[in-house]
A and B are shown apart, each in its own frame.
Chain A
C-alpha cells in the first residue's frame, strides 16, 4: 500500500534547515571553548551564531550536482581546445607569459584558500559559516585543480610552466602573493574571513579575475576563458559569504567595529599591493589589451567598492585610508612593475620585452599624465641600449618592503621621481617599507613581520642554492646556482622574449599550421 504524502517535496529553505541545523551537540569530555579554541582570542564578540544567514542555503547534494554539470562542460571544451591545438590560435606567444604568472603565482593560492576555509569552517562554532566555508573550501580546491588542468596543455609547448608548486615557494617575486596568503592563513579565523572572504573575494576579486578571464577571451585562449566562466558562479557565492561575514560581525556587537575596520584597512592595502602584478599584466603583457589597469581600477574599485563602502557606512565602516594613495598610484604601478620585471628578467620564470611603438602609443593615450613624462624615456633608453647589443639586465638584488615584500619600486604619492622610503626600528634593527600603509601594518604587529622570508635576504644568507653548492669555490656563480634552486632553466625560461625558444617555436608551429 502506498503511503499517503501530504507534500511531495521539501522547499529549499526547509531542506537546508533539516540538513544543516541541529546535527551536532554540546561536547561533554571537554568544554566547548576548548573544542573551538580560536573563536575568542581575536576579540570579536558573537552573541548569537544563529543570526548568521546563509543566503545560498546550499546542501551537499545540490552542490555536487551543479558542480558536476559545470565541470563536464569545462572539460569537454578543454579537450576540444587541446585536441585542435588551440594554443596556436592565441594572438601571440607573449600571451602565454600571463598564464605563467597565473599558474605559478595564483593557482597555488587557490589551494591554500581551500585549506584556509576548511580551517575556519572547523573553528567557527556557528553552523551557518561552517557550512558556507565548507562549500567554499571545496570550490577553492576545485579551482586549483581546474586551473592546473586548463593550463597544463601549455606546459607541453611553452617554458616556465613546469613546476608551479616549487616556484611559489622559492622564486623571489612569488614571495609577494605567498606572503599575502601566509599572513592571512596565520591570522585568527575572523581576520582570515575579512582578509580573504571580504577584502580579497569581495572588494578586489574582480580586479584579478576579470582581467585574466577577459584577457584570455581577447587573446584567443578558450581554455583559460572557460575556466574563468566556470568559476564565476562560485565567485559570486564567495562574494556573498564575505559580505555576510562582515555584516554578521558588525551586527553582533559594536565593539567589533574598530577591529573589523582595522582588518579591512590592512587587507585592502595588502591586496592592492599584490594586484600590482595584475596591473602590469593588463598594460604590458596582453598582446591584445582588454582595458588599462587604470580603467579597471576606476570601474571595479572606485565605483563598485565605493558603492559598497557607502552601504557599509550605516555600520560605521569607512572606506580604507589607503584608497587615497591607490587613487594616485593607479597612474604608475603597472609601469613601475613592468620596468622591474624587464630588468630582473634574468631571474624570472617568464619572459619580458619592451613595448612596441603601438603599445607605447596606447600607453600614452591611456596614461596621458604619466606615461610620456616618466616612463617612455626609460623604455626608449632601454630600446636604444638593446639595439646596441646591451639589453639591460639588472644583476644586483634590490631592497625589499618588509610587509608586501615587493622591491622598493614605488614612488612618493606626491613625487613620481622619488622612491618612497619608510622605516621602523624594532629590537635594535631597521625595517624598510614601500609606503605608509605597509609601515603601519608592520608597526601594529612587528613580531609577525620580522619573521618574513625575504627572498633577497635569503639569497644572501646562502639559503637559495641547490644542495651541495659551494659558495666558497672559486668558479661559484651565484646567479646560476639560484636559478638551479628555483628550477628555472637558464636561457630557456628566463630573459627577453625576443630570441626565446617560445618565440621561435610559436612562429614555426603557427607557420606549419597555417601554410604548406
Chain B
C-alpha cells in the first residue's frame, strides 16, 4: 500500500546500494548462539571471495564464542532469507548470487551455544 499523504510522496531510499562506495551490506547471524545479541552487518566488496568473509571477517566478530574455534565449516548449514543455501567459498559474494542487504544465517549442528542453552 502507498503512504496516505497530503501531497506527492517522493521515494527517498536511505540505504540504497549506491550509498556504500561500491560495497554491499551483508548480514550474517549464527543460529543458537545468542551471546551475540543480533546478526552482524558489514559493508563488503561484491568481488570479495566468500571464503574471505568466513575466514577473515567473521573470526573478529564471532571469535569470542568458545564454539567458534570448533566449527567444522564443511558441515555448516547455511540459510539465505530463511531458505537452505549452499555457498561456494572460492567464488565471490556476487558470484554466489548475493546482493546488497542480503541476510544469511548459519547453523552448526552439535554446537548449540553455552551449555547447550542457545546462547
Binding site for B on A (CB under 8 A): 37-38, 41-43, 188, 336, 339-340, 343-344, 373-375, 377-378, 381-382, 390, 392, 394-400, 407-409, 411, 416-419, 421, 423, 427, 429-432, 443-445, 447-448, 450-454, 456-457, 460-461
Binding site for A on B (CB under 8 A): 1-6, 9, 11-17, 19-20, 23, 25, 27, 29, 31-32, 34-43, 60-61, 64, 81-82, 99-103, 105, 112-115, 117-119
A377 with B117, Cβ < 8 A, contacts A450-B12, A450-B13 known: yes
Which B residues are CB-close (under 8 A) to A453?
Answer: 14
Quick one: which of B1, B36, B105 contacts A445, CB cutoff 8 A? B1
A318-B101 Cα distance, complex, nearest whole Å: 36
Contact yes or no, B31 A443, CB < 8 A: no
Give the distance to chain B from A364, nearest Cβ to Cβ, in Å: 14
Contact yes or no, B29 A421, CB < 8 A: yes
A399 with B31, Cβ < 8 A, contacts A447-B9, A450-B11 known: no
Which B residues are CB-close (under 8 A) to A407?
Answer: 37-38
Closest residue of B by beta carbon distance from A381: B114
Contact yes or no, B41 A398, CB < 8 A: yes
Give the distance to chain A from B108, nearest Cβ to Cβ, in Å: 13
A381-B34 Cα distance, complex, nearest whole Å: 12
Contact yes or no, A396 B15, CB < 8 A: no
Give the distance to chain A from B25, nearest Cβ to Cβ, in Å: 7
Contact yes or no, B117 A343, CB < 8 A: no
Contact yes or no, A430 B42, CB < 8 A: no
Contact yes or no, B40 A397, CB < 8 A: yes
Q: Which of A339, A378, A395, A423 has the most CB of B within 10 A?
A: A378
A461-B35 Cα distance, complex, nearest whole Å: 27
How many A-B residue contacts, CB cutoff 8 Å? 154
Contact yes or no, B37 A452, CB < 8 A: no
Give the distance to chain B from A346, nearest Cβ to Cβ, in Å: 13
A421 with B25, Cβ < 8 A, contacts A444-B1, A447-B11 known: no
Closest residue of B by beta carbon distance from A373: B117
Nearest 5 pairs between A and B by C-beta? Answer: A417-B118, A398-B38, A407-B38, A396-B61, A378-B119
Contact yes or no, A457 B15, CB < 8 A: yes
Closest residue of B by beta carbon distance from A342: B37
Give the distance to chain B from A412, nearest Cβ to Cβ, in Å: 11
Contact yes or no, A394 B37, CB < 8 A: yes
Contact yes or no, B103 A432, CB < 8 A: yes
Contact yes or no, A408 B25, CB < 8 A: no
A414-B119 Cα distance, complex, nearest whole Å: 16
Contact yes or no, A398 B4, CB < 8 A: no
Which A residues are CB-close (under 8 A) to B100?
Answer: 429-430
Closest residue of A by beta carbon distance from B105: A421
Could you list 5 examples of A-B contacts with CB < 8 Å?
A375-B119, A378-B35, A397-B40, A452-B14, A461-B20
A447 with B2, Cβ < 8 A, contacts A421-B82, A423-B81, A429-B16 known: yes
A445-B15 Cα distance, complex, nearest whole Å: 17
A265-B51 Cα distance, complex, nearest whole Å: 44
A421-B11 Cα distance, complex, nearest whole Å: 25
Contact yes or no, A378 B114, CB < 8 A: yes
